[in-house]
Amino acid sequence: MKRYLFIVSRSPYGSSFVLEQLETAMVAAAFDGNVSILLRDDGVWSLQLDQSGDAIEQQTLAKVLSGLPSYEIDRLYVCAPSLQTRGVEVDQDLGFEAVDYAAQQALIGNSDVVIGGQP
């Protein structure tokens, strides 16, 4: 089974890129991929409390993230320095583990396929 790491580094709103990336992760998991998600840089805004995508006529990303475990995607990580830099308050119900740079390097090194997008 291939190990996939999806690195989400873009802001959750303003384009459909993050939603499409998460949907791709769900498809990989549906085909028996071992999928992990890492949010970093502006991607950490996806974990912000009290999101309302409806206000800008987009799907609320926190709702999508909360559905990941139903696709057996339960290896969820967030860059601790990115959270601190942006002052993001994380919705703890989403189950993301904060990791430092060394842990992120280990995640990347232990993955067969790394899929990411730069801002």
- pLDDT tens by residue, the chain, 119 residues: 899 999 999 887 677 788 889 999 999 999 988 999 999 998 888 887 666 555 556 566 777 888 888 889 989 999 999 999 999 888 788 889 999 999 999 999 999 999 986 55
Q: What is the pTM of this model?
A: 0.88
Whole-number pLDDT of residue 25: 94
What's the CA gap between 9 and 17, in Å, rounded?
Answer: 10
Give domain limits for the chain.
Answer: 3-117
Phi then psi for residue 95, to 5 deg, are 75, 30
| DSSP per-residue letters across 30-65 | HTT-EEEEEE-GGGGGGGBSS--GGGGTS--HHHHH
Block residue for tokens 């912000």: 48
By CB atoms closer than 10 A (0-12, 13-18, 19+), residue 85 is exposed
Whole-number pLDDT of residue 65: 84
Whole-number pLDDT of residue 38: 97
Whole-number pLDDT of residue 115: 94
What's the CA gap between 108 and 115, in Å, rounded?
Answer: 10
CATH architecture for residues 3-117: 3-Layer(aba) Sandwich (3.40)
For 81, the enclosing helix (H) or strand (E) is: helix 80-86
Whole-number pLDDT of residue 112: 96
Whole-number pLDDT of residue 50: 65
Whole-number pLDDT of residue 80: 96
What's the CA gap between 108 and 105, in Å, rounded?
Answer: 5
- How many C-beta atoms lie closer than 10 Å to residue 103's C-beta? 15
